[in-house]
Structure 1
């Protein structure tokens, strides 16, 4: 696919959750723009697939549990030892499962909070010294679920709402250092993990009824927004939560007219 061109040559980018879906598309987008890309996730084979067909001297695969502070710290140290700098961090790793107040157990809540909230804090702390040096930026992958409510997703919505709040507060705290912090908020995105739901005609019809553009997002749709936000063209944008949602959040929830 054709990408808008941004000056990413010589820049080092870290993408978490880069083994599939949105994270894979983001990583490949940066690679195609000439960036050096470090892909981080839990499965080495999936990460290697993400960076295959791209120059080995511009990629690094790091296997890491994003909720483990020590592992994240070692991974950031490894990438700095290899490339000497870090300019852009894409915090993409996330977790979602249905949550009903009466049945959602504490273990599931703690797992979702650890991946969607705690991991962002751990990552931001680990990369901040390098980003201060490079006057770089962070883009978090949030969700429109952090902006509005959903049925049977109160826990996921709570974690993404927390992520949005952290992005805005860190943008204020880090602006004096020239570090920008933003988030992209996708709606439902067509990935390998979600495609089975799209094959349900009832779900697909209800989903499309919410989308002004009449189709779910692709991972490339999200990646395009990320590449813009991380670029110099967005150099005066910080603290923004940008929906990339086909018009989902523009609606009050009323159905399409017949």
Structure 2
């Protein structure tokens, strides 16, 4: 079991998208460890059940849903509210990345990344806004350092994460009067089941570590800890923030380490 800082999440209802694996699973399990009630949303019910299986059944709800389908998301949020009666925290984690060199870029890749990385956040914010106003709750989006700086062969992914960051900051302004905070966590490369194969490539791993001051990639728990803080009362005066959780990636100008 991971050692977490203690936050007062007992009685709070949390919705986490993309919760069937990786960062989303880590975030959902972190909130459950803190005593929160958590609705996990994603495409595959079996993977969502795996996320919550070691926690009390009365504090979790599995919602199989396509985050890019407005009607499906609205149905899922309605089911959550009927089941728990309130919603306090929304974690918009679902994301998608495809390499996108301009010479080989396909329109379908842009459509997929924009739908998951941008449109899904908008759909989720709309569907949960009324409930979050009632609870003076907050939204935390999982963005990326790729929305802050450029990457090779990822111009489309960078563009969608940059758009997400801009939406987070603008919604923080619009919703602050309702007591609703909106922030984002921006991870760098994170060690998950989906990325582990790349870490097994010695050349890729060496190049990655050359960018990381802390000499290791992030884990889902690293990202979850930042989210748990941002959603907590301890961060009650933080809104519109894009917080890199990146092992020092964005602190570097891109120059290689000295030999």
TM-score, normalised by the number of residues in structure 2: 0.99
Structure 1 residue 209 displacement after superposition: 0.3
Q: How does 1:4-15 map to 2 (within 5 A)?
A: 4-15=5-16
SS where residue 103 of structure 2 aligns? coil
How do 1:171-182 and structure 2 match up within 5 A?
171-182=172-183
4+ residue stretches of structure 1 with deviation over 4 A? none
Is 1:82 aligned to 2:48, yes or no? no
Report the CA distance between 1:190 and its aligned residue: 0.3
Cα separation, 2, equivalents of 1:227 and 1:249: 22
Q: List per-residue Cα deviations over 1:193-218 (Å, max 9, x = no partner).
A: 00000000000000000000000000
Per-residue CA deviation, residues 85-107 of structure 1 (Å, 9 max, x unaligned), is 00000000000010011211111
Structure 2 matches for 1:56-95, cutoff 5 A?
56-95=57-96
1:171: Cα distance to partner? Answer: 0.2
Please give the alpha-carbon distance, in whole angstroms, between the structure 1 residues aligned to 2:45 and 2:179: 33
Residue aligning to 2:24: 23
Distance 1:52 1:111 in 2: 30
Size of the alignment, in residue pairs? Answer: 258
- Flag structure 1 segments of 5+ consecutive residues without an equivalent: none
SS in 2 for 1:18: coil
Instruction: Give CA deviations for 1:103-130 in whole Å, capped at 9, x if unaligned.
Output: 1111111111000000000000000000
Q: What corresponds to 1:209 in structure 2?
A: 210
Is residue 198 of structure 2 the alignment partner of residue 192 of structure 1?
no
Taking the TM superposition and a 5 Å limit, the aligned residue runs for 1:28-177 are 28-177=29-178
The within-5 A match list for 1:222-233 is: 222-233=223-234
How far apart, CA to CA, are the structure 2 residues paired with 1:32 and 1:203? 34
**Separation in structure 2 between the aligned mates of residue 104 and residue 63 of structure 1, nearest angstrom:** 31
Tell me by how many angstroms 1:56 deviates: 0.5
The structural deviation recorded for 1:135 is 0.1
CA shift, 1:53, in A, is: 1.2
Which range is displaced more, 99-108 or 168-177?
99-108
Q: State the distance in 2 between where 1:219 and 1:32 align.
A: 14
Q: Deviations over 1:12-46 (max 9, x none)?
A: 00000000000000000000000000000000100
State the TM-score, normalized to the length of structure 1. Answer: 1.00
SS at 1:37 equivalent? strand
Query: 1:241 maps to what in 2?
Result: 242
In structure 2, runs of 5+ residues without a counterpart are none
